[in-house]
Amino acid sequence: MKIAGKAYRTIWLGEDGWSVVVIDQTRLPFSFETVRLTQVQEAADAIRHMIVRGAPLIGATAAYGVALALRGDASDAALERALALLGATRPTAVNLHWALARMRARLIELPETERVAAAYAEAAAICDEDVALCRAIGEHGLGLIRTIAAAKPVGERINILTHCNAGWLATVDWGTALAPIYLAHDAGIPVHVWVDETRPRNQGAALSAYELGAHGVPHTVISDNAGGHLMQHGEVDMVIVGTDRTTATGDVANKIGTYLKALAAHDNGVPFYVALPSPTIDWSLSDGLAEIPIEERAAGEVTHLRGVGEDGRPGIFQVTAPGSPAANPAFDVTPARLVTGLVTERGVAPASFEGLSRLFPELAQERMK
Ligand SMILES: CSC[C@@H](O)[C@@H](O)C(=O)COP(=O)(O)O
């Protein structure tokens, strides 16, 4: 997608042909800066400290992290060390483990001399595939938006609520939940996005608002608690969010607060869609609440806010009573029964094993083995 007229992906190779460049998402929306990753430890730190974030981009960065690791030492031991280091960075997004398993499968049988080139090629393939998957999700989600538009008076705006950031910044390009919105906007459909601020890290206020604004999509940032009220007053036509891990049975882990939006949508008859590429499906799990590991992050993300002051200077501000403890579960699980449909690269599926396996029979079969 474009920033100030220049097309970007979220991850690319440096001019030297081997280092890995990413956009520093901790600096957005106030400053657009890039970071050059030269070692596997730097790739792991970038994931852990959320310089990059969003399930598909975490997977892509981990894949390139493996390539960086092998440059110095392409032995089996170095490969396993890199996989373990990267695999321990964040627990919830399954794309991380999917990408690492794919890298291992591609590399482990190769002679050491061939591994570095193969690792770069595989990481590049993961990135290119992610772009294609997200674009296809966009096309299928666009169909849903068109259906909603067709039921409204011509020209009336379609209000779509989203939570966290599942736009192009969370993937390699296009995004998952925001891809249909970009395509609808580009097709001249009058979409307007309610952007949940998404405390504590404010991925909505900082990142979704930034990228929607850069693309010219009308949007309004709302506090996390406003969605239910807007739904009660007919101000939301559809909710669409991303996911970090979806079980084979359609339970959806996503940024903390997603579940409350699904409850409010259910109570108000608002369709609640989840957009995901197939690498986000964890075919080994069938009970999201019991089985999906939920990341617990630092309390400081709740007690303190990052922003810029009126003088434009960046700062960190405490917003809680000094001494009060804080808890910070980073994700929650929305049960399949609250999900209207899963928007994948192969179409829209009911949130169930039957629904997913109809679209991905070859992947479902692996689970049955
Ligand atoms: C296409 S991204 C889907 C999810 O990864 C996204 O909604 C999300 O929850 C990201 O969480 P984050 O903690 O910012 O990595």
Can you give the pLDDT of all 369 residues of the chain as single tens digits?
888 889 999 999 999 999 999 999 999 999 999 999 999 999 999 999 999 999 999 999 999 999 999 999 999 999 999 999 999 999 999 999 999 999 999 999 999 999 999 999 999 999 999 999 999 999 999 999 999 999 999 999 999 999 999 999 999 999 999 999 999 999 999 999 999 999 999 999 999 999 999 999 999 999 999 999 999 999 999 999 999 999 999 999 999 999 999 999 999 999 999 999 999 999 999 999 999 999 999 999 999 999 999 999 999 999 999 999 999 999 999 999 999 999 999 999 999 999 999 999 999 988 776
> What's the confidence (pLDDT) of residue 2?
86
Residues with CB under 6 A from ligand 1: 53-56, 93, 164, 166, 170-171, 176, 203, 242-244, 254-255, 330
Q: Whose CA is nearest to atom 1 of ligand 1?
A: 166
If you measure from the C-alpha of residue 322 to the centroid of ligand 1, how many angstroms do you get, rounded to a whole number?
A: 30
Determine if residue 261 is labeled as part of a ligand binding site: no
Q: What number does the ligand 1 atom closest to the CA of 53 have?
A: 15
Q: What number does the ligand 1 atom closest to the CA of 163 have?
A: 7
Q: What number does the ligand 1 atom closest to the CA of 295 have?
A: 13
Span 137-368: which CATH code?
3.40.50.10470
Determine if residue 367 is labeled as part of a ligand binding site: no
Q: Length of the chain, please? A: 369
Contacts of 207 (CB under 8 A, 6+ apart): 25, 28, 29, 165, 167, 169, 170
Residue 251's region, left for phi above 0, alpha for psi from -120 to 50, else beta, is beta
Q: Which among 10, 107, 104 has a CA at the least distance from the CA of 58?
A: 10
Distance in angstroms (rounded) separating the CA atoms of residues 258 and 112: 44
Tokens representing 337 are: 């029964």
Identify which of 50, 165, 211 to mutate to test ligand 1's pocket (most ligand atoms within 8 A of the CB). Answer: 165
Contacts of 99 (CB under 8 A, 6+ apart): 59, 60, 62, 63, 126, 279
> What's the confidence (pLDDT) of residue 366?
80
> What's the confidence (pLDDT) of residue 368?
74
If you measure from the C-alpha of residue 109 to the centroid of ligand 1, how many angstroms do you get, rounded to a whole number?
A: 33
If you measure from the C-alpha of residue 115 to the centroid of ligand 1, how many angstroms do you get, rounded to a whole number?
A: 31
Give the CA diameter of the chain: 63
If you measure from the C-alpha of residue 117 to the centroid of ligand 1, how many angstroms do you get, rounded to a whole number?
A: 30
If you measure from the C-alpha of residue 316 to the centroid of ligand 1, how many angstroms do you get, rounded to a whole number?
A: 23
Determine if residue 300 is labeled as part of a ligand binding site: no
CB atoms within 10 A of CB 50: 18
Sequence spans of domains, the chain: 2-129, 137-368
Determine if residue 55 is labeled as part of a ligand binding site: yes
Distance in angstroms (rounded) separating the CA atoms of residues 166 and 178: 6
What strand order describes the sheet that includes 11-13?
Answer: 11-13, 20-23, 34-37
Catalytic residue among 130, 196, 244, 332: 244
> What's the confidence (pLDDT) of residue 27?
95
Determine if residue 313 is labeled as part of a ligand binding site: no
Q: What is the interface pTM, i.e. ipTM, of the complex?
A: 0.98
Identify which of 137, 178, 203 to mutate to test ligand 1's pocket (most ligand atoms within 8 A of the CB). Answer: 203
Task: Verify whether residue 244 is a known catalytic residue.
Answer: yes
Distance in angstroms (rounded) separating the CA atoms of residues 226 and 181: 21
CATH topology of domain 2-129: Four Helix Bundle (Hemerythrin (Met), subunit A) (1.20.120)
Compute CA distances 341 → 78, 177, 338, whole Å.
42, 12, 9
Determine if residue 297 is labeled as part of a ligand binding site: no
If you measure from the C-alpha of residue 190 to the centroid of ligand 1, how many angstroms do you get, rounded to a whole number?
A: 26
Identify which of 243, 258, 331, 342 to mutate to test ligand 1's pocket (most ligand atoms within 8 A of the CB). Answer: 243
Contacts of 299 (CB under 8 A, 6+ apart): 325, 326, 327, 328
